[in-house]
Amino acid sequence: MKTLNNVKAVSEALEVAMEKWSEVVVYGEDAGFEGGVFRATEGLQAKFGEERCFDAPISEAVFAGVALGMAINKMKPVIELQFEGLGWPSLQNILGHMGRMRNRTRGKYPTPVVIRMPMGGGIRALELHSEAMEAIYAHTPGIKVVCPSTPYDTKGLILAAIESPDPVIVFEPTKLYRAFKQEVPEGFYTVEIGKGFKIQEGNDLTVVTYGAQTVDCQKAIEELESKNPDITIELIDLRSIQPWDKEMVFESVKKTGRLLVVHEAIRSFSVSAEIIASVNEECFEYLKAPLSRCTGYDIVIPFDSGEAFHQPHPKKILVKMEDLLNYKF
Which residues are part of the catalytic machinery? Answer: 129
Q: Report the distance separating Cα 327 and Cα 284, nearest Å.
A: 16
Q: Are 324 and 205 in contact (CB under 8 A)?
A: yes
* CA neighbor of 142 nearest in space, from 290, 273, 242: 242
Q: Are 266 and 296 in contact (CB under 8 A)?
A: yes
Q: Where are the strands (E) in 204-250, listed by range?
A: 205-209, 233-237, 240-242
C-alpha of 278 from chain center: 20
Q: Are 145 and 169 in contact (CB under 8 A)?
A: yes
Tell me the HSE value of 186 on the side-chain side, using a 13 A CA sphere: 2
Q: For the beta carbon of residue 192, count every other beta carbon within 10 angstroms.
A: 12
Calculate the dihedral angle through the C-alpha atoms of 94, 53, 186, 117, rounding to the nearest 10 degrees: -30
186 pairs with which residues across the strands? none
SS (H, E, C) 41-64: CCCHHHHHCCCCEEECCCCHHHHH
- 243 preceded by a cis bond (ω within 30 of 0): yes
Read off the amino acid at residue 260: L
Q: Are 279 and 259 in contact (CB under 8 A)?
A: yes
- Stretch (H or E) spanning 177: none
Q: Report the distance separating Cα 268 and Cα 295, nearest Å.
A: 9
Query: How buried is residue 221: exposed, middle or buried, by Cβ count under 10 Å (0-12/13-18/19+)?
Result: buried
